[in-house]
Structure 1
Amino acid sequence: MSLSRTITLHQPKRLEIGAGASARVGAWAGDAERILIIASPHTAGFAERLGLGGQVSVFDAIPGEPDIATFDAAMSAAREARPDLVIGLGGGSVMDVAKLVAAMWDGEQALADVAGPDRVAGRNARLVQIATTAGTGSEAGIRALITDPGKGNKIAVESPHLIADLAVLDPELTFSVPPAVTAATGIDAMAHCVEAFTNRNAHPVIDGFARMGIALVGRYLARAVRDGSDTEAREGMMLASFYGGICLGPVNTAAGHALSYPLGTLLHLPHGLANAIIFPHVLAFNEPVAQAKTAEVVAALGLGDGDLLTAAHAFCADLGVEMRLSAHGATDDQLPRFASDAHAIRRLMDNNPRDMTQDEVLAIYRAAF
């Protein structure tokens, strides 16, 4: 520990976790006069569970991969509602937009002004984040990602002003998530933990959160996929996702997420699915330089002693994830563009424990094709 670099660890001021926890939001938010709920069409219906008073507005037009136009529309809704409390009610995309809206709706900054680390001036409203999936861990973190469709990449904003005042993990809100989405988002949560754990900037404190998250995935993900109403498994996966979100702040992800992003921005795959497809390949690629930690991952997930790539691929496929890029609409001629874009995401690629050339990135895409 004495040789570790200095880190700053941000966490939500308050965490409510457990079946029915979402019903406690209203009591916490009792003094809020104007509330704006950011949601997707699939999650807006959960608003009635929150027990809110005051004047409540809902903006429920958040898609799977929110872009600049989505952000602008949400900001317009906020400027009309003038909220003193913003609630993100959904998955990572919803919560990322909610973070930015809470911080920026009544300020002078534009999205371009806040791109990058520590450029957000402040926050204009309190923020509640209520997760309805177990994957991104966005409710725990200080980052938000918005797609720039013109450039085909992600705009990343990082600021302590984006941390939630209250985070809520209510497993009952995930009961209706389909098995395939449960699997993909669960692998995304695991990837956050694994990529932080094996990272060049790994830290013993964050390693602890990562180990707990990986172990929870190994114990509960298959159960949650088999039975969506398994409350214990759903709660375990929400906690794994939360731990993964904590890992992202001081350490962040690495090549796995860099390779997944072009699949979202260019192929329009959901983020969790993109990460699930890439995960086994990057885990195996990094194993020669992260043998001890990879062995811990293998043990926690029960991958056995055989070929690592084969075992990790089977772990994902056995959960019901379609692992072939070609089955998701990718064409062979797209792969070089994917590789070029992924290799250029240096904020993540430079975290990877093993250097990866653009040709090696392309080889992974071809193997996943």
Structure 2
Amino acid sequence: MTLGLSTPIDLVRPPRIVFGSGTLPAVRDWLKEKGLTRILVVADAFNAGRVDVLGLTGAVEVFGEVKPEPDLPNLEALLARAEAFAPDAVIGFGGGSAMDLAKLAAVLPGSGQTLHEVVGPEKVKAKGAALVQVPTTAGTGSEAGTRALVTDPATQNKLAVQSLHMLADLAVVDPDLTLTVPAAVTAATGVDALAHCVEAYTSRKAHPTIDLYALEGARLVGKYLDRAIKDGSDREARAGLALASLYGGFCLGPVNTTAGHAVAYPLGTRHHIAHGAANALIFPHVLAFNAPAAPEKTALVLEALGLPASSDPATVLEAAHGWCAAIGCEMKLSAYNVPQADLEIMATEAHAIRRLLDNNPRDMSRADILALYQAAF
């Protein structure tokens, strides 16, 4: 199912990635080296409270109101602040939501383009400010990618913008920033990183150049996630997960995710379930559903998680479900107060996300998605 070695693929990475414990000063040094002095930091409330760790000098403006699932009003508030401040550098400091909004803040202000005009691939005209990404969770890998997702409250759908202009000029991945992440968030974001790797690995667009990162990312999660949940101060485990997240980000650009993310999205847009938690709940079901179309790779994924190899759908579901539950993930939709009456509309919404579902190794009908939600209820 993997595309051949000679199939063309476009690999895009930030020109500079600094990785490892204690690397955070690279942000300050790089800004100084480039002569950038008007800095807009885009963060959630928690990270806005510790912006001092970035050691910034010059004029610093902090937008600290990033929501867990950013929507249009959230973005518009940020863009208004950016227009007024006119930064020469934007720093995404937080999880995927902060980094996604930072991408848009680096390209939209002063461009004459609205968000709706740039939705889709490569519609952004130019980058208006330098972009630095500093992840504080190990999940999205957004620091390595060129996509930003924002929820439109009117339609309850995620608007996806993809542009090379939104690639970070510098990504600094310092795992020490994740030492304070609570166990439940560590679990959910860890499964998000895992889902990026596994969905890319089993995708119709899967490619040998990315398979390497995808399988190693899954192995890193299998090795380190439980350790980081049990002891948040375990630096080696935190670094392993930060690397898994970065590798997941490498997978997103050229290959991207498949049905798992499509089916998880309505949980976030409609019911405000955190993206990582939504992915964890859906992950075993989609892995099992796809097993007949990708038997060898499914078996390798289970092995990567320390589970017995199998490609039998029932066995895969039981094993992956048990693994997610054992690390503390909530595995029932009903526990999130999702009304059973909403499953039909959610299935319709998920089935419409063709940019992801068309990459799935096995065709997934609306009825299949509904059955999956019912099984997860």
User: TM-score higher than 0.5 here?
Assistant: yes
Q: 1: distance between equivalents of 2:4 and 2:186?
A: 39
- 2:325 maps to 1:317: yes
Q: 2: distance between equivalents of 1:69 and 1:163?
A: 23
CA contact (8 A) 1:46 1:173 kept: no
Q: How does 1:1-369 map to 2 (within 5 A)?
A: 3-30=5-32, 31-305=35-309, 307-369=315-377
Q: 1: distance between equivalents of 2:286 and 2:322?
A: 14
Question: Which residue identity does 1:182 align to in structure 2?
Answer: T
SS, match of residue 243 in structure 2: helix
SS, match of residue 355 in structure 1: coil
Shift of 1:305: 4.9
CA contact (8 A) 1:195 1:252 kept: yes
Which piece of structure 1 moves more, 7-16 or 55-64? 7-16
CA contact (8 A) 1:131 1:169 kept: yes
SS, match of residue 95 in structure 1: helix
CA contact (8 A) 1:189 1:240 kept: yes
Question: Which residue identity does 1:163 align to in structure 2?
Answer: L
Q: 1: distance between equivalents of 2:291 and 2:150?
A: 31
CA contact (8 A) 2:284 2:321 kept: yes
Q: 2: distance between equivalents of 1:3 and 1:49?
A: 44
SS, match of residue 42 in structure 1: helix
CA contact (8 A) 2:22 2:176 kept: yes
- Structure 2, unmatched stretches of 5+, are none
Shift of 1:24: 2.3
Shift of 1:4: 3.6
Q: How has the CA–CA distance of structure 1 residues 121 and 230 changed in structure 2, closer, same or farther, with 3 Å as cutoff?
A: same
CA contact (8 A) 2:107 2:166 kept: yes
CA contact (8 A) 1:4 1:203 kept: no
Q: 1: distance between equivalents of 2:26 and 2:362?
A: 45
SS, match of residue 201 in structure 1: coil
Shift of 1:21: 1.3
CA contact (8 A) 1:106 1:124 kept: yes
Q: 2: distance between equivalents of 1:158 and 1:142?
A: 5
- Structure 1, unmatched stretches of 5+, are none
CA contact (8 A) 2:26 2:172 kept: no
CA contact (8 A) 1:335 1:365 kept: yes
TM-score normalized by structure 1? 0.98
SS, match of residue 98 in structure 1: helix
1:242-298 deviation digits (Å, cap 9, x = unpaired)? 110110101100000000000000011000000000000000000011001111101
SS, match of residue 204 in structure 2: coil
Shift of 1:239: 0.7
Q: 2: distance between equivalents of 1:358 and 1:246?
A: 30
Q: How many residue pairs align between the two structures?
A: 369
Shift of 1:105: 1.4
Shift of 1:106: 2.0
Shift of 1:348: 0.5
Question: Which residue identity does 2:348 align to in structure 1?
Answer: S
Q: 1: distance between equivalents of 2:258 and 2:53?
A: 37
SS, match of residue 151 in structure 2: strand
Shift of 1:3: 4.8
TM-score normalized by structure 2? 0.96
Q: 1: distance between equivalents of 2:253 and 2:148?
A: 11
Q: 2: distance between equivalents of 1:322 and 1:145?
A: 24
Question: Which residue identity does 2:287 align to in structure 1?
Answer: L
Q: 1: distance between equivalents of 2:212 and 2:349?
A: 32
CA contact (8 A) 2:40 2:90 kept: yes
Shift of 1:103: 1.1
Shift of 1:2: 6.0
Question: Which residue identity does 2:140 align to in structure 1?
Answer: T
SS, match of residue 36 in structure 1: strand
SS, match of residue 323 in structure 1: coil
